[in-house]
């Protein structure tokens, strides 16, 4: 497989009167051809900055980027026709209709105007295409943005939070659209905060935190490397769960969390060990279930942004040790 998008050691600092803010701090990313790639990270971690830099809207302070094998930003004009993109809540000139907006872009980019009807149909705006964008709802603007990105029939589609403002039906349509597009050979990079969605449609992901890559690979790989092997343990009724938890702790289990009707045990290599420990104290296990980790918990762990009770986390705050996890 060939890389459609490569980023190495990308750095970008925003300068302002208050000083310098490092938005990207040696960020790496690779997207293989034909994949749907999820780009995840907490608010302010640098996703939009990465995509803007890639699209030539802002100048990086260092690092290397390439799209479809061409170095950026030097060769951006050559590949721009093959990269469709929306960047974070796209804005349009409100007094124009959707059709006018698209036809102006099509003319500027030398795209056949017949394509306009196709993309309007695709994003479900066919019947509202003659309305001014001013009269559109948030989700309709978002659909128009997706339409504008698809207009070029790109090889690489970059979507920054495309689900923003979409209704559940719209999200599902978007999901199947991504599938169809990637089956037709398009590579899709998708930034989103809806991790369930990402887990459903993405082949691979990159997770960014504080301007650095903290994880990358196929969804299964990322999940596997961080399977903290949590096990749900239920015992016969009438046994004090706090006492059970204490037993396991003193026997050496690293993470034990008692709950209402079960105990969660993490970091244990062989779940059967739990049965053995408890049986020695005449406590009989009635259920021993490995809990599948999902992307959300991995994300929260890697980025150190899991909510802590009684505290309100500020943006830019992460508890994760900095330093790349990636490959």
Partner 1 sequence: MSLATAELRRLTKRRFVRWLVAGTMAVMVAIAAGFFLSNEKVGPRQIAEAKVAAEREYQDTVRQAEQERRNCELAPGTNGYPADCTQLTPPQPQDFPLDWYLPSSFVFKSDFGAVITTFAAIFVLLGFVVGASYVGAEWSSGSMMNLLLWRPRRLQVLATKLGVLLGAMTALSAVVAVLWTLTFVVIARLRGTTDGMTAGGWRSTALTEVRAIVLILLGAAIGFGLASLGRHTAVALGVAAGVVVVLQFGLYLVLSNADVPYSEIWLLPVWAFAWMSKEVKLENYNSCNYSGVNGCVPDSLTLTWPMAGALWAVIFIVIVGAAMWTMRNRDVA
Ligand X SMILES: Nc1ncnc2c1ncn2[C@@H]1O[C@H](COP(=O)(O)OP(=O)(O)OP(=O)(O)O)[C@@H](O)[C@H]1O
92 vs 136 by CB, closer to partner 1: 92
Which residues, in sequence order, are CB contacts of 127 under 8 Å at separation 6+? none
CA quadruple 162, 32, 83, 55: dihedral sign: positive
Q: By CB under 6 A, tell whether 276 contacts ligand X.
A: no
User: What's the CA gap between 113 and 250, in Å, rounded?
Assistant: 72
Query: How far is 213 from 226, CA to CA, in rounded Å?
Result: 15
55 binds, among ligand X, partner 1, Mg ion, none (CB under 5 to 8 A by kind): partner 1
- The binding track of 53-82 with respect to Mg ion, each residue x by CB under 5 A or -, is ------------------------------
String of contacts with partner 1 for each residue 97-126, x by CB under 8 A: ---xx--xx-xxxx----------------
Cα 231 to Cα 217: distance, rounded to the nearest angstrom: 25
Using the rule CB under 5 A, which residue among 42, 45, 46, 48 binds Mg ion? 48
- Smallest distance from ligand X to CB 93, Å: 21
Determine which residue in the list 38, 46, 60, 84 makes contact with ligand X, applying CB under 6 A. 46
Residue 287's Cβ-count burial label (10 Å; 0-12, 13-18, 19+) is exposed
What are the phi and psi torsion angles at 9 (to 5°)?
A: 55, 35
Compute CA 44 distance to the chain's CA centroid, rounded to the nearest angstrom. Answer: 13
Segment 87 to 126, residues that bind Mg ion, using CB under 5 A:
88
> Burial level of 97, CB count in 10 A (0-12/13-18/19+)?
middle
**Cα distance between residue 74 and residue 84, in whole Å:** 18
Which burial class, exposed, middle or buried, applies to 162 when counting CB atoms under 10 A from its CB (0-12, 13-18, 19+)? buried
Total residues at interface with ligand X (CB under 6 A): 13
Q: How far is the CB of 79 from ligand X (least distance, A)?
A: 22
- Tell me if 91 contacts ligand X by CB under 6 A: no
Cβ at position 91, least distance to partner 1 in Å: 3
Mask for 15-54, x = binds partner 1 (CB under 8 A): -------------------------------------x--
**How many chain residues touch partner 1 (CB under 8 A)?**
31
Q: How far apart are CA 239 and CA 258, in angstroms?
A: 12
Binders of partner 1 among 66-85, rule CB under 8 A? 73, 76-77, 80-81, 83, 85
CA–CA dist 171, 164 (Å, integer) = 9
45: partner contacted, choices Mg ion, partner 1, ligand X, none (Cβ within 5-8 A by kind):
ligand X
In terms of CB distance, is 44 or 326 closer to partner 1?
A: 44
Binder to partner 1 among 95, 168, 252, 323 (CB under 8 A)?
A: 95
Number of alpha carbons in the 13 Å side-chain half-sphere of residue 158: 23
- Min CB(51)–Mg ion separation in Å: 8
**Site residues for ligand X per CB under 6 A:** 14, 16, 21, 23, 41, 43-49, 88
């Amino acid at each position: 497989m060939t890389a459609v998008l490569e980023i190495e050691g990308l750095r970008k600092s925003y300068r302002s009167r208050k000083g310098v803010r490092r938005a990207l701090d040696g960020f790496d990313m690779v997207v293989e051809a034909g994949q749907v790639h999820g780009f995840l990270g907490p608010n302010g971690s640098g996703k939009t900055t990465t995509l803007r830099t890639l699209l030539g809207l802002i100048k990086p302070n260092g690092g290397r980027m390439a799209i479809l094998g061409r170095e950026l930003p030097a060769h951006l004009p050559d590949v721009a026709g093959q990269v469709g993109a929306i960047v974070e809540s796209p804005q349009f000139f409100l007094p124009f209709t959707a059709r006018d907006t698209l036809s102006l872009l099509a003319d500027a980019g030398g795209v056949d105007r017949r394509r306009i009807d196709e993309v309007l149909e695709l994003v479900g705006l066919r019947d509202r295409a003659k309305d001014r964008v001013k009269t559109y709802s948030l989700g309709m603007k978002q659909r128009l943005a997706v339409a504008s990105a698809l207009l070029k029939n790109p090889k690489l589609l970059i979507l920054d939070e495309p689900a923003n403002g979409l209704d559940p039906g719209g999200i599902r349509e978007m999901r199947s659209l991504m599938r169809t597009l990637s089956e037709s050979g398009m590579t899709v990079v998708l930034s989103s905060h809806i991790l369930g969605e990402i887990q459903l449609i993405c082949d691979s992901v990159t997770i960014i935190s504080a301007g650095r890559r903290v994880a990358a690979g196929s969804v299964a790989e990322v999940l596997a490397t961080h399977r903290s092997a949590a096990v749900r343990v239920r015992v016969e009724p009438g046994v004090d769960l706090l006492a059970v938890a204490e037993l396991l702790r003193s026997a050496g289990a690293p993470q034990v969390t008692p709950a209402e009707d079960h105990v969660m045990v993490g970091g244990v290599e062989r779940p059967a060990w739990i049965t053995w420990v408890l049986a020695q104290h005449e406590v009989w296990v009635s259920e021993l279930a490995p809990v599948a980790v999902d992307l959300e918990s991995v994300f929260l762990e890697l980025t150190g942004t899991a909510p802590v009770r009684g505290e309100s986390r500020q943006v830019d705050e992460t508890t994760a040790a900095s330093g790349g996890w990636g490959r």
